[in-house]
Amino acid sequence: MASSSSSARNSQYCPRWKYDVFLSFRGDDTRNNFTSHLYNGLTTRGIFTFLDNERLEDGDSISEELVKAIEESQVALIV
């Protein structure tokens, strides 16, 4: 009986995280070199990684979409 209730729980499982990793970085030099290589390496290994294409300047507010991506990521990696 325990196994049937266990499988019922597993069939209702809903993951909390949309992304495994949220990559946070600043600057085109970082984007076009290290961060892009890191992103490619992570995604090649099946790690769901968020990399934003939004370029924020000093004093800019973070968009709601970016905040949501951060909240839906298991890990934030600051480069």
pLDDT tens digits along 17-38 = 999 999 988 887 788 889 999 9
- Residue 71 in tokens: 């909240």
The total of structural domains in the chain comes to 1
56 in a structural domain = yes
Kindly tell me the number of DSSP H helices and DSSP E strands found in the chain. Answer: 4, 3
Cβ of 79: how many Cβ atoms within 10 Å?
Answer: 13
Q: Which of 6-10, 25-29, 73-77 has the highest mean pLDDT?
A: 73-77
Q: Could you tell me if 19 and 73 are in contact, meaning their C-beta atoms sit under 8 angstroms apart?
A: yes
CATH number at residue 33: 3.40.50.10140
More confident residue, 56 or 66: 66
Q: Is 4 a domain residue?
A: no
Containing domain of residue 28, as a range?
Answer: 17-78
63 within some domain: yes
User: Are 21 and 74 in contact, with CB atoms under 8 Å apart?
Assistant: yes
Residue 8 is assigned to a structural domain of this protein:
no
Q: Would residue 6 count as lying in a domain?
A: no
